[in-house]
Structure 1
Amino acid sequence: MLIAFDSIRGTKLAGIDDDVGTIQDLLIDTDDWLSRHIVVDTGKWLPDRRVLLPPSILGRCDWQQRAIAIDLSQQQVKESPHVDSQKPVSRQMEMELFKHYDVPAYWGPAGVSLTTGTAMSMPLSAHVPAAEQQTIEEDLPPLRSAKEILNYSIEATDGDLGHVEDLIVDDATWAIRYVVVDTKNWLPSRKVLIAPEWVDAVSWTETKVHVDLTRDQIKNSPEYDPLTPINRGYEEHLYDYYGKERYWLP
């Protein structure tokens, strides 16, 4: 199911013995727009802690009840590695997190990602030469906060387009499927969707997302209504309009 990031934030995480907190943010791999970590607000039971959970441990999503089941106890979450909120998440920290939760890593030798929107991964036990292991440990993965990307300006090939209002997440893979663009500075009361594959570049210093589309293409594209669930028919219409290859086809 495709769900807006704005609707995901605040969703309860129900552990095996009690709630462990709510989803506060997602850490996105900017190489392939996959959510690599769930940032959890643990509330009063575990204050002043930045807790990260891998999406692979999340169970069934009940969006009507705004709850997701996880097969973890509060004690397991409490004993998870401490993550410094003032520092970027390092590869070494990711390795410690995956080891604690007993889940496979998502990267290959020398830190090369093996995923392109599916759940492929390499187990932590896979052999990695010592030199490459050192590279992985010292490397900083390309992770960015989903909240950070909100309100970034969108730049078309021929001028300003609007700003990022939201992100659309696939709850089966936790991939970012679409960027929601608010064009109100140019086209009043109109929102459109742009797939990450159509993004040319993201300038983190200028807080801009550059897309390989013209303003006229966006102007005439299928409109997005946040109150209407995104179905395959809408996606087919969107991809046909832009003449782009569909992500759901092999």
Structure 2
Amino acid sequence: MLMKLHDLTTLSTETPGGEAAKVRGLYLTEEMNVREVVVDMNGLLDLRAIAMPAAAFGTPDVEAGTWPVDITTEAIKGCEPVRQEPESALEKVKDMVFSPLPETRGTLRSGEAYKGLSLDLNEGPVGRVLDIVVDTDTMMVPFVVVETGSWLPDRQVLLPTAKINSINWDDGKGKVDATQEEISAAPDVFENDQITTTGSGTLLTYYGIGA
């Protein structure tokens, strides 16, 4: 299933003990594979946001608003908190509700960090990354959603991450191996703001990926 990061963070999951936990974010490898899913424990473990292994998560149930996870209580207790434990209960609540996740965890980078990246071609700009798209079956990120600039106004396009050659995190820019003509003529694969497997396959074929 293909889902935007924004939509994944509206889901909740349930621990083996029956406690509800809200999905907070993701941490990715340099190759843009999801390694960890961050969840707010909502009272369990003193409100900590912890990083669970992405491999433990199944296929989201969008209608129910849940993301099943197969993990033991003991394994949850061994999951690392994503930031230092606040000193007071009030600080814990503020931290959980208002504070963004740290941009990096070791060699991993938060999925939120990709939002706002400026993507450029040799001939000019592509636009700004609005969101990333996760394949929850493979835990890979095959696409980013890009808001194009003045060269293609009022458009959001889906760009394969395989076309992003490099990212310079110091200046928040990425280089794209495509042309403005290719991007402007790419098929629109959004259906009710969602991306279907068929549509994503059509787009990858259009860009010559996996052919």
TM-score normalized by the length of structure 2? 0.80
- The match for 1:200 among 152, 165, 170 is 165
For structure 1, the residue ranges without an aligned partner over 5 or more in a row are 91-140
Deviation per CA, 1:22-59, whole angstroms, max 9, x where unpaired? 111110111x2100011112234444633000011123
Percentage of identical aligned residues:
25
Counterpart CA distance in 1 for 2:65 and 2:23 is: 10
Find the counterpart in structure 2 of residue 164 from structure 1. 129
Which moved further from structure 2: 68-77 or 201-210?
A: 68-77
Counterpart CA distance in 2 for 1:236 and 1:70 is: 27
Which moved further from structure 2: 145-154 or 39-48?
A: 39-48
User: Per residue, is there more strand in 1 or in 2?
Assistant: 2
Find the counterpart in structure 2 of residue 53 from structure 1. 52
Structure 1 contact 191–223 (Cα < 8 Å) conserved? no
5 Å-filtered alignment, 1:13-92, equals 13-30=13-30, 32-47=31-46, 49-72=48-71, 76-84=75-83, 88-90=104-106
Counterpart CA distance in 1 for 2:127 and 2:191 is: 17
Structure 1 contact 153–209 (Cα < 8 Å) conserved? yes
Task: Read off the aligned partner of 1:155 and give its amino acid letter.
Answer: D
Counterpart CA distance in 2 for 1:212 and 1:241 is: 14
Deviation per CA, 1:170-201, whole angstroms, max 9, x where unpaired? 11111101011111443222111111111110
Counterpart CA distance in 1 for 2:27 and 2:204 is: 27
Find the counterpart in structure 2 of residue 94 from structure 1. none
Counterpart secondary structure, 1:201: strand
Structure 1 contact 12–19 (Cα < 8 Å) conserved? no
Counterpart CA distance in 2 for 1:155 and 1:60 is: 34
Structure 1 contact 37–53 (Cα < 8 Å) conserved? yes
Task: Read off the aligned partner of 1:162 and give its amino acid letter.
Answer: G
* 1:73 Cα deviation from its structure 2 partner: 5.5
Structure 1 residues 223, 49: CA separation in 2 closer, same or farther (over 3 Å shift)? Answer: same
Counterpart CA distance in 1 for 2:125 and 2:103 is: 32
TM-score normalized by the length of structure 1? 0.69
Task: Read off the aligned partner of 2:105 and give its amino acid letter.
Answer: V
For structure 2, the residue ranges without an aligned partner over 5 or more in a row are 85-101
Structure 2 contact 189–203 (Cα < 8 Å) conserved? no
